[in-house]
Amino acid sequence: MKTVLSLAAAAAAVLSLSACATTPRTDLPYAADATEFTGWLKLSGEEFELYAREEQVLRPFARPCVSGAASLDEMRALGDLAGARVRITGRTAAWSSDLPGNRLVHERATIRNTCGGAFVILADDIEAIL
């Protein structure tokens, strides 16, 4: 009888975990239809990663985040803003695994979507928030 109860408990646990796996994420920090994004900036080559919380920037491979890029010239000039709180204005683009080379180019800057999100930010302006 004890084994039957243990199996029933294990089955209930598996079912509850599988229900969690199919539930859409509600903790994503940014909306796909936004045009202004505020957060902490991490630079990764020609693309940036934007995080909602400062402590995320300090952890490698932190999630959730949103990848994006500004023009290549602006991306090259952003070195001083790595780890800073920023405001980004721009638009988003849906990410698809069907993109040629699994990348998107925005004003000569290559976005590889390091964050792995459903969309990326195509930035027009990035400014520090003091």
Tens of pLDDT, residue by residue over 37-48, are: 999 999 999 999
Q: How many CB atoms lie within 10 A of CB 34?
A: 16
Confidence class of residue 86 from pLDDT cuts 50, 70 and 90?
A: very high
Specify the pLDDT at position 35.
98
> Which candidate, 2, 54, 34, 55, places its Cα nearest to that of 117?
34
High-pLDDT (> 90) share of the chain, %? 65
Tell how strand 119-128 and strand 85-94 pair up.
antiparallel
Domain boundaries, the chain: 25-128
CB neighbour burial string for 45-73, b if at least 16 within 10 angstroms, e if fewer: ebbbbbbbeeebbeeeebeebbbbbbbee
Mean pLDDT calculated for residue range 81-88: 96
Q: Is it the case that residue 31 has pLDDT exceeding 50?
A: yes
What is the pLDDT at residue 60? 85
- The third-level CATH classification (topology) of the domain covering 25-128 is OB fold (Dihydrolipoamide Acetyltransferase, E2P) (2.40.50)
Mean pLDDT for all residues in the chain: 84
pLDDT category of residue 61 using cuts at 50, 70 and 90: confident
Whole-structure pTM value: 0.78
Can you tell me the mean pLDDT for 105-113? 96
Q: Write out the H or E segment, with its range, that includes residue 4.
A: helix 2-22
List strand residue ranges (DSSP E) for the chain, in order: 36-44, 47-51, 66-69, 85-94, 104-106, 109-111, 119-128
Residue type, 16: S
